[in-house]
Amino acid sequence: MNLAENIREIFEKRDQSKNIQLISGHKQLYKIQMRNYYLNSIGGIKRKQELNSTFSRTISNVIVPFLALTDYHFEAVNYLHKEGGKNIKWTFAEGLSFPHYLFSCNKPEEFELLSDKNIYSQVLKHCQKISGTYSSLPRLPSVYLLVMLTFDILAFEVFTSFICSTPALFDNPGKAVEIENLSNLQNEIGVGLYSKSSFFKNGTFMQCFWDMENLETIFAQYLSIGVTNRR
């Protein structure tokens, strides 16, 4: 089976639903890598740090069919501070857990329910537990890196939720669509340990969905370019 057939098989076997499957008790392992570059006054890289982590996500409580509370657990975290250096195992991070949520709304009434007082209070109470996870740790550069990694994980979860809840994205394959709920979104990352002035902020958030037809066209062009380059 060639590469094109492999890609087609993967996409033909994929779940056709655009919803996130929220199954209470489901646990999944993931890996994430975060690289931080420190720049000098002229924009050159003077230092690089890297974190490599394995973590699990457990769907702990499905409040309604389209909204679930989630818990994340660091299984392993390794730190690398220079090219070719040795990974340093961060045992202090192993076993740390933090909370969040996932949602997948395809109807206006489902979005409206997210702001229901009872549902919102459950989500808020769950998410506020994150302060307890980090507030007991010392204010060290290593801990701040771990906080940054945590918010990278949570950012992808938020992106996933809003992407799966934006029907216009899937109605226009190949066209970039702005997800307004994510554009210019600012989030505090102090987690009860650092100043409330610590935050990250998105710019304009654009996303594009590629269906099989789009991918086949791109892949055909890629093969054509590849053949040309090899001559």
pLDDT digits (tens, 9 = 90+) for 188-206: 666 656 666 666 676 777 7
Q: How confident is the model at residue 96 (pLDDT cuts 50, 70, 90)?
A: very high
Q: How confident is the model at residue 228 (pLDDT cuts 50, 70, 90)?
A: very low
Q: How confident is the model at residue 102 (pLDDT cuts 50, 70, 90)?
A: very high
Task: Say what the alpha-carbon torsion angle 24, 111, 163, 76 is, to the nearest 10 degrees.
Answer: -40
Number of domains in the chain: 1
3-state DSSP assignment of residue 115: coil
Residue 221 has pLDDT above 70, yes or no: no
pLDDT digits (tens, 9 = 90+) for 25-65: 999 999 999 988 888 888 888 888 899 999 999 999 999 99
Q: How remote is the C-alpha of 53 from its chain's centroid?
A: 13
Span 80-92, average pLDDT:
84
Check: CB of residue 74 under 8 Å from CB of residue 55: yes
Q: Which residue has the higher pLDDT, 109 or 203?
A: 109
Average predicted confidence (pLDDT) for the chain: 78
First to last CA, the chain: 24
pLDDT at 8: 55
Q: How would you label 10-47 residue by residue, b for 16+ Cβ within 10 Å and e otherwise? A: eeeeeeeeeebebeeeeeeeeeeebeeeeeeeeeeeee
Please choose, from the candidates 189, 99, 187, 186, the residue with its C-alpha nearest in 3D space to the C-alpha of residue 144: 189
Domain that holds residue 18: 3-230
